[in-house]
Structure 1
Amino acid sequence: MTDLRTTDLGVTDLIHRLRKGLPEAAVVEDPDVTASYRTDMAGFCESALPACVVFPETVEQVQHVMRTASELHVPVVPQGARTGLSGGANTVAGCVALSLVKMNRILELDPVNRIAVVEPGVINAELSRAAGRHGLSYPPDPSSWESCTVGGNIGTGAGGLCCVKYGVTAEYVLGLDVVLADGRLLRTGRRTAKGVAGYDLTRLFVGAEGTLGVVVGAVLALRPAPPPQLVLAAEFASTDEACRAVCAVMAAGHTPSLMELMDTTTVRAVNAMAQMGLPDSTAALLLVGFDGLDPASDLAAVGELCREAGATEVVPAADSGESELLLEARRLALPALDRLGTTMIDDVAVPRSRLGEMLAGVDRIGREFDLTIGVCAHAGDGNTHPVVVFDAKDEAETARARESFDAIMGLGLSLGGTITGEHGVGLLKKEWLARELGPVGLEVQRQLKGVFDPLGIMNPGKLF
């Protein structure tokens, strides 16, 4: 990078050039405001004050920002709602924080072709509700769906509670409009149900965390709205029994719409936060949902499998209202654990068959480091979220928290898993990405970044 981004003269020139192609209010340089855009929701990740925050409202304005940044060699950090958990939206010194929250229009919703064309700042839940008015659904449903943006979901390759049946964000992105580092507009993918022309650049940008370009539009696949789902809650005396039930359900050929697990620490935290009356005396609470033609019959069959695996209690919801209450408890898991202290949220996915080993290992790590670690998981696809709770004012405990976080990631890799199933790498897991990919994989990925971002200005320092 040049000194333009770190000197007063350079910042003045940057702001002046940006304002030539943007509305006056779109460029904010007040340090009190810019400081509030330094980070996402992750801890243990460095950040620095950006030169400014820019709020474009059109593709052309984003192109102007990128052309200016490229000419001056100034780094750009694309941002959505900043609900991420890996530091992927954290700013670097003198950068442009490119907030896309004002590009929030649903441009088209086509029930015949079952697609939505959206800008990146559209809130996930708003898209879901808009699709629902046409009898359709947009299945990816991260826990933060009421606040996270589609652009952010694309950047991290987000998942959600229902991905065990309906898949993750990558499976619904048909095409993208991307502003490249030099300001050119790249269109990838298609609007058709099928298409295999050329390299699949669309998938390349999904999960790239803004390191290859700025997503300014997306063509998303929609699905017919499923019927209301019914959920059962199964209590277990051990997490191992709960994980055996998960494997039994999948081995029997069932296709649940969700399969979520909460350990005792998580259940008690949710009860303390929302007084939901969940059974906090059990070691594990498994939630299984079905939305097919006969969900009650499916729940009865799965309930029997849970009992055979050792469930002490199986309670099917009587209706969709009770089912939604159970799902709300699961969505509150991370906020509830946050109330216990400072948290580090891991995102390790392992094969379903090794889920029991993963949870047992996390329990062992918690005892080894003398820390509270609550676990909630998308058990149906093996994606665990161990949440390390610690006192940030205690240096020794903070150090142990970081060590335990690394130990959990190492455990996941040793079980044939991955360091992130849906939260992304960002800053938090850079070292571990290198371990997972290996030297050849890392070299190839760096070469790909060089093709799209030869100056290294796109979200620098993230991933690797």
Structure 2
Amino acid sequence: MPLADLIEHLLPRLPGDALVTDPAQLLAHARDAAPFSDGGTPAVLALPDTPEQVSHILRTTYELGVPVVPQGARTGLAGAANAVDGCLLLSTARMDRILAIDPANRLVRCEPGVVTRHLNEAVAPHGLTYPPDPASRDRCTIGGNIATDAGGVCCGKYGTTADYVLGLDLVLPDGRRTRTGRDTVKGVAGYDLTRLVVGSEGTLAVVVGATLALRPLRPPALSLLARFPSLTTAGDAVAALTATGYVPSALELLDRATSRAVHALGHPLMRPDGAATLIIESDGGDPAGELAEMAALCRAAGAAEVTVAADPAESRRITEARRLVTPALAAVAAGLPGDATVLVEDVAVPRSELPKFIGTTEEIAHRHRLRLYTLGHAADGTLHPAVVFDRADPDESHRARLAYDEIMAAALALGGTTTGEHGIGTLKRDWLARELDPASLELQRGLKRLFDPKNLLNPGKVVQA
């Protein structure tokens, strides 16, 4: 329909600055951070600041047949927030209020635009924390975390976003409002619609409010860094830690190339030699004692060198090595000719298959003549192979895409999944069809049709209706 007609229907119940048609701003909002996943051309950007305005927008677009793409901070890596041609982009950035903090029941109610770090800063004075810890926590929002069921470094011990979502305030594609979930610790009345919406990437409903569980502040943590001569010995250390029942608050694995990149950025504890690095953090009741035992397990598995922190300051220096991975890879890309970019992939395999999978990714990179860096959460088997390539070079871009597909296939062959925490979006939609059996895929398509019979909410994402 003509843009003027759409705006004419929307404006009477929206603030004057809630609709944006400036081409530069539309272009800036047309896609998220995913490569190989171009966005379409949106018609308008809507910036509501209340649930009522969201309901009005969706009721109007549903009646007029206009597709809607929900967006948060656009830090996603699967193309789920990418525009489709002629759509209305629905940004929840202005809905950034923390509505209530309830220390007695250890929960918080907030809007979807609240930045993850800001939520934690708000609940900390009450002795509470929101454990999910995505790498983009300084920018990503709670709504986006819910859309992708975001995880993070500590999810091996503390779980993912889904483990903390008690209830959701939703606007359905036709503008109706509903609430799922409960405020109680237990609750099994009816189907679990809350869990269904978490991870649905904005294809079933728009989140306009969330009730989240909180936990007591984590105790001070201590860390160690262990360097290994082979992937096998690093894998043996992970297996030994798991077998003994330790649940570290972080267990991060960096391959040879990633360790070298962080070393090149100047981290004092990293070395250019060695095949793998493990970074382990403990925040248990006796972190020093646990780390001493975990260090012994690493040495027994074949670690060439183990550095154990004696105090929180040394621990922060160790864990900083993991936080430096993203800037280290950005520095690698910046030092290359052409238009180099970093494609961060996201797969999960059984923990026992970590060494084999990383070895396979190294072979794939060698065969396609690509720079590949693999890091991940060894505690739960989620890995992020990152390919650095020149997107201005058609041949290198083609090889990067081939490598991407081979890495997805390798994960499935080892009993894994094509996404551990980034989601499907458009980037992995075809791979979802390969991962799921036909009956499961049809059930998922049926759910999409039930929630969104006109296929107007984030169409083309996750599954094809």
TM-score, L = length of structure 2: 0.96
Q: Does the alignment pair 1:330 with 2:332?
A: no
Instruction: Give the TM-score taking structure 1 as reference length.
Output: 0.96
Aligned to 1:219: 211
**RMSD over aligned Cα, in angstroms?**
1.1
Q: Which residue of 2 aligns with 1:151?
A: 143
Structure 1 equivalent of residue 438 of structure 2: 439
**Structure 1 position 37 matched with structure 2 position 29:** yes
Separation in 2, partners of 1:338, 1:251:
36
Cα distance change on mapping 1:276 and 1:119 into 2, 3 Å: farther
Q: Which residue of 2 aligns with 1:242?
A: 234
Distance 1:220 1:44 in 2: 34
In the TM superposition, 1:39-438 aligns within 5 A as 39-273=31-265, 275-339=267-331, 340=333, 341-438=340-437
| Displacement of 1:275 | 4.6
Cα distance in 1 for residues equivalent to 2:61 and 2:327: 37
Task: Provide the C-alpha distance between the structure 1 equivalents of 2:178 and 2:344, rounded to a whole number of angstroms.
Answer: 34
Moved more, 437-446 or 198-207: 437-446
Partner Cα distance (1:16, 1:336) in 2: 48
**For residues 234 and 25 of structure 1, do their structure 2 counterparts lie closer, same or farther at Cα, with a shift above 3 Å needed?**
same
SS at match of 1:416: coil
Cα distance in structure 1, aligned partners of 2:317 and 2:209: 34
Question: For each residue in 1:440-464, what CA deviation from the matched residue of structure 2 results, as whole angstroms up to 9, or x when unmatched?
Answer: 1111101000010011011111112
How much does 1:338 deviate?
3.1
Summarize the Cα distance change of 1:50–1:274 in structure 2 as closer, same or farther, 3 Å threshold. farther
| Number of residue equivalences | 456
Q: 1:143 to 1:276 in 2, by over 3 A?
A: farther
Deviates more, 1:272-281 or 1:342-351: 272-281
Q: How far off is 1:226 after superposition?
A: 1.4
Deviations 1:377-423 (A, max 9, x none): 00110000000111111111110100100100100001111110100
- Aligned partner letter, 1:354: E
Shift of 1:267: 2.2
Identity %: 54
Give the 3 Å change call, closer, same or farther, for CA 380–179 of structure 1 in structure 2.
Answer: same
Alignment-mate amino acid for residue 225 of structure 1 = L
Structure 1: tracts of 5 or more residues without a match: 5-9
Amino acid at match of 1:172: Y
Contact 1:78–1:97 under 8 Å retained in 2: yes
1:460 aligns to what?
A: 459
CA separation in 2, counterparts of 1:352 and 1:182? Answer: 43
1:105/1:118 contact within 8 Å kept: yes
**Which moves more between the two structures, 157-166 or 266-275?**
266-275
Q: Are 1:79 and 1:97, in contact at CA under 8 Å, matched by a contact in 2?
A: yes
Distance 2:289 2:393 in 1: 51
Q: Secondary structure at the match of 1:267?
A: helix
2:446 aligned counterpart, secondary structure: helix
Name the SS of the counterpart of 2:375 in structure 1.
strand
Which contiguous aligned blocks of 4+ residues in structure 1 show a shift greater than 3 angstroms? 271-277
CA drift at 1:274: 5.3
Structure 2 portions without partners, runs of 5+: 334-339
Q: Contact 2:73–2:93 at 8 Å: present in 1 too?
A: yes
Are the aligned partners of 1:240 and 1:360 in contact in 2 as well (CA < 8 Å)?
no
User: 1:422 is matched by which residue type in structure 2?
Assistant: E
| CA-CA distance at 1:270 after TM superposition | 2.5
**How much has 1:327 moved relative to structure 2?**
2.1
- Residue identity matched to 1:428: L
